[in-house]
Structure 1
Amino acid sequence: MASEVFSYESLVHAVAGAMGSVTAMTVFFPLDTARLRLQVDENRKAKSTPAILADIVREEGLLAPYRGWFPVICSLCCSNFVYFYCYHCLKASLLKGRQSTSSTDLITGIAAGVVNVLVTTPLWVVNTRLKLQGSKFHNADIRPTNYSGILDAFAQIIRGEGVGALWNGTFPSLLLVLNPAIQFMIYETLKRWLRREVPRELSSLEVFVIGAIAKAVSTTVTYPLQTIQSILRFGQCGTPTEKSKLLSSLRTIKSLLVNRARKHGMLGIFKGLEAKLLQTVLTAALMFLLYEKIVSLTFRVMGLGNSHLRKR
């Protein structure tokens, strides 16, 4: 087990995943800004993604779509490093040289996701606050914040809301480990199908397309919970009063979903999905493309050629 946990191959996958995700998110960051604004600001009228971005630029300035880029990139880098490292360590431990299956990919993805959520949720809470700070909201009930940076945001949240506030949205986040788990299961399954006759490197177009398909399916299935996760991380939904944290979390999620559906109809819980799909599908497709190229190049430089393909 120790050899898999501290293997060089796991480190290569983790670094490649982090580098690919950071680059892809930077390219498509404005699309994520539009998605988050639609999820959190209930009174903002749902429009097409270009229209939302045009409104944000007109109201808040040209650089507004990139507000909060640095904390998001820091969080994403740490999160994907942890996820890819855990995913490949666990997968190597389970398979021990055998061919992977869809069920193995799903189980490994869920386990890696749980570790990732517990370790990196505080970073995502802080970056959500920083990304929305200074925004012009259409909902007058939202309280403005004044953080000078990542460390100041941590300090203010702990001082004003308690340490537990750094893990706001953890329960829906744990449910949302299904998102990357489903994504990786579909991605790896499609990859095995395309390489069913002989191990080979997939073309850039093949990687891009199957990465987009995998993310589109996983995002659509889990989107309502992603909306609740964003609202909870923003910290504007009130403090639960029940003694049982699990029961409190379940009731909070149910309440937020029901209230949103009552205000905006059933489609209200999917508000911002178009922006999310546009952003996340393109980002995931580009991320997988860069990830595969970095891994392939690294193993080729190490002199392993295509031998690593048989382990996947």
Structure 2
Amino acid sequence: MAFEVLSYESLVHAVSGAMGSVTAMTVFFPLDTARLRLQVDEKRRAKSTPAILAEIIKEEGLLAPYRGWFPVICSLCCSNFVYFYCFHTLKASWLKEHQSASRVDLLVGIAAGVVNVLVTTPLWVVNTRLKLQGSKFHNTDIRPTNYRGIWDAFVQIVRDEGVGALWNGTFPSLLLVLNPAIQFMIYEGLKRQLRRGVPRELLSLEVFVISAVAKTVATIVTYPLQTIQSILRFGQFNKSANKSTLMCSLITVKSVLVNRVRKLGILGLFKGLEAKLMQTVLTAALMFLLYEKIASCTFRVMGLSKHNK
């Protein structure tokens, strides 16, 4: 199956997805802050999302829920650009010879996710560190860091922990390619059902609802891995397991998993799920709504039909 790497249509999808994700994340960013604190700070008691945010603001100031916004937005923009571009390039190539189906969306989503993880993981490691820097942790074992920005964080991590540390959490991240893959599979499948073979632009409410449903299912299924991923990216774990080999990655994931369950029980793997569901479902719904509208307007200006892209 040959495919065009450079495609104007895929570029439109990529830019639209990146713009939609950046806007949506900015709107719901405080919810992601609450989720991340609950994941990495073992001694912070799980409360309702508004209560966690109120606690953070009381302890650290009014702007604390938006700490680390810029690096997160940079990482998200790059990540979604890569993912949307790869997804639509691979899918368009497949559709030249085959019909679309849910299993195709799943396989294409996994392939796009693998490329995305390998390319953008260093950005996510840095933004996790910056987002948590200066936070008031309830776990006193967490070591403070002093990064002056994105580039300084890259430099310090490479100098103090080695280049491999920039890919901390890559193994669970590779497993987590199932998250967007499941999301896209459900989303594209529901779109096909709503259209029932008749090309039309979906209503805004339809896009919002089906993207929310798709993200809810994907998030619940993969959340324990997301918790492990956040802990590994934060870097507060046994350095002896911080190697680049597959075996050491498996050992590290297993160690963090067992430690988490031992301390907090099985439900500890789902700590912060409420905040994550609020943030990720609302963000995904708004992102796909904006993505569909931006892409649709762009294709309309180009004089092309978006429904076949």
TM-score (norm. length: structure 2): 0.97
1:215 aligns with 2:215: yes
Distance 1:198 1:254 in 2: 48
Distance 1:250 1:22 in 2: 32
Aligned-residue offset at 1:240: 3.2
Matches within 5 A, 1:25-174: 25-96=25-96, 98-174=98-174
Distance 1:243 1:189 in 2: 39
Change (3 A) 1:166 1:127: same
SS at the partner of 1:45?
A: coil
One-letter amino acid of the counterpart of residue 276, structure 2: K
Distance 1:177 1:224 in 2: 14
Percent identity between matched residues is: 82
- Superposed CA offset, 1:104-151 (max 9, x none): 100000000000000000000000000000000000000000000000
- Superposed CA offset, 1:221-276 (max 9, x none): 00000000000000001113497821111121112112211211111110000000
- Superposed CA offset, 1:195-225 (max 9, x none): 0141100000000000000000000000000
Question: Is there any run of 5+ residues in structure 2 with no aligned partner, and where?
Answer: none
Distance 1:271 1:46 in 2: 7
Structure 1 consecutive aligned stretches of length 4 or more whose deviation exceeds 2 Å: 1-4, 240-244
SS at the partner of 1:5?
A: coil
Distance 2:80 2:69 in 1: 16
Contact preservation (8 Å) 2:242, 2:249 = no
Distance 1:16 1:2 in 2: 25
- Superposed CA offset, 1:81-124 (max 9, x none): 00000001111111216431101100000000000000000000
Distance 2:147 2:289 in 1: 35
Distance 1:228 1:92 in 2: 34
Aligned-residue offset at 1:35: 0.2
Change (3 A) 1:224 1:41: same
Contact preservation (8 Å) 2:295, 2:306 = no
Distance 2:265 2:157 in 1: 33
Distance 1:289 1:278 in 2: 17
SS at the partner of 1:251?
A: helix
Change (3 A) 1:276 1:243: closer
Distance 1:157 1:99 in 2: 46
Once the two structures are overlaid, the 10-residue window that deviates more, 153-162 or 241-250, is 241-250
Distance 1:116 1:213 in 2: 23
Change (3 A) 1:175 1:196: same
1:310 aligns with 2:297: no
The total of aligned residue pairs comes to: 309
